[in-house]
Amino acid sequence: MAEPVTPTTPARAFRLGVAGPVGTGKTSLIALLCRELADEIEMGVVTNDIYTDEDAQILRAAGVLEIDRIRAVETGACPHTAIRDDVTPNLIAVEDLEHDHGPLDLVLVESGGDNLTATFSPALVDAQIFVLDVAGGGDVARKGGPGIARADLLVVNKTDLAPYVEVDVERMLRDASAARDGGPVIGLSRHDATSVGALTDWVRHMTAAVREGRHTPVDPGPMAPHSHADEDGHVTVHSHEHEHDHGHAHPLGDEQPVR
Ligand SMILES: Nc1nc2c(ncn2[C@@H]2O[C@H](COP(=O)(O)OP(=O)(O)O)[C@@H](O)[C@H]2O)c(=O)[nH]1
Ligand SMILES: [Mg+2]
């Protein structure tokens, strides 16, 4: 009788979400991770943009990863739906990447950011990073929200800009840590090698923890109600509080038009 086979590679890659407001540096952080880690672990990237594949194009142009390992999902009006309620297009993109380039160790998924409320469903990612930046103001970390409070890692980015925007980084990091009950927080600047090392060490550690089954995905919690404008300028407010057992492009049940 054949010996039972002990798997040496995991069944699938570690899926790591990167969320946070527009412009805080999610695409830059992903480019940084690819640049630092692609020689030692097998990686892929999935980006989410509302109408374009601009983030994927930026990453491809940066030359940090083989072009075909960077895939784009166009989310339509609500970027949250694609990472929270109906994750199917993202799951298909991740699985296609693994099929074409696997076995992969790590797939990074960038959310289409817009405000402080976006969090990934654990159905899509095993862990998530929430990205703030000092330019958004020193008090942002105190404002809380599910991503700030309960993402697996909070990054306070662009610390090199702190003197120009008059933010006390140490205080912002202390506030962030308090908002997270001591959960991990990294102050990051791509110009500061020590902070880049702290980020890559966290990712290495998590990749190993997921591979060895030592990590349990946690849902940071539902988003607060928020609004979107469609192409005709109509604005609707909705929330993602209710879990849906069926997939659809946009949950309509709790939407209210804003005039
Ligand atoms: N000074 C500084 N700028 C940064 C840093 N990281 C990102 N940026 C800049 O912040 C802007 C927004 O970055 P991007 O990655 O596109 O943000 P995203 O919208 O969250 O994906 C870009 O102009 C980046 O060059 C950093 O560590 N320091
Ligand atoms: Mg981006």
Residue 230 in any domain: the answer is no
| Per-residue pLDDT tens digits for 239-248 | 555 443 333 3
Q: Could you tell me the distance, in angstroms and rounded to a whole number, from the CA of residue 142 to the centre of ligand 1?
A: 22
Pairwise CA distance, residues 28 & 23, whole Å: 9
Q: pLDDT averaged over the chain?
A: 85
Is 130 domain-assigned? Answer: yes
pTM metric for this prediction:
0.85
In a domain, 104, yes or no: yes
* Domain range enclosing 91: 14-214
Give the range among 33-42, 144-153, 197-206 with minimum mean pLDDT.
144-153
| Residue 221 is assigned to a structural domain of this protein | no
Residue nearest to ligand 1 atom 25, measured at CA: 28
| Ligand 1 centre distance from Cα of residue 133 (Å) | 9
Which residue has the least CA distance to atom 5 on ligand 1? Answer: 158
CA distances from 64 to 40, 106, 203, 253 (A): 13, 15, 17, 42
Number of domains in the chain: 1
Mean pLDDT of all residues in 114-119: 79
Burial of 243 (0-12, 13-18, 19+ CB in 10 A): exposed
- pLDDT above 60 (res 94): yes
Which of the four pLDDT bands, split at 50, 70 and 90, describes residue 81? confident
pLDDT of residue 258: 34
Distance from the CA of 28 to the center of ligand 1, in angstroms? 6
The closest residue, in CA terms, to atom 9 on ligand 1 is 25
Q: Which ligand is nearest to the CA of 23?
A: 1
In this predicted model, what pLDDT tens digit does every residue of 152-174 receive, in sequence order?
999 999 999 999 999 999 999 99
Which ligand has the minimum distance to the alpha carbon of residue 114? Answer: 1
Atom 8 of ligand 1: nearest residue by CA position: 25
Ligand positioned closest to the Cα atom of 158? 1
- Pocket residues for ligand 1 (CB within 6 Å)? 22-28, 113, 157-158, 160-161, 189-190
248 within a domain of the structure (yes/no): no
pLDDT at residue 248 in the model: 32
Q: Cα of 30 to ligand 2 centre, how many Å?
A: 9
Average pLDDT over residues 138-164: 94
Q: Is residue 229 part of a domain?
A: no
3-class state of residue 94 by DSSP: helix
**Does the residue 198 lie in any domain?**
yes
pLDDT of residue 8: 52
Confidence of residue 78 (pLDDT cuts 50, 70, 90): confident
Highest mean predicted confidence (pLDDT) among 54-58, 67-71, 114-118:
67-71
Token digits of residue 122: 């654990």
Tell me, what CATH number does 165's domain have? 3.40.50.300
108 within 8 A of 30, measured Cβ to Cβ? yes
Binding site members = 20-27
Q: Could you tell me if residue 92 is inside a domain?
A: yes
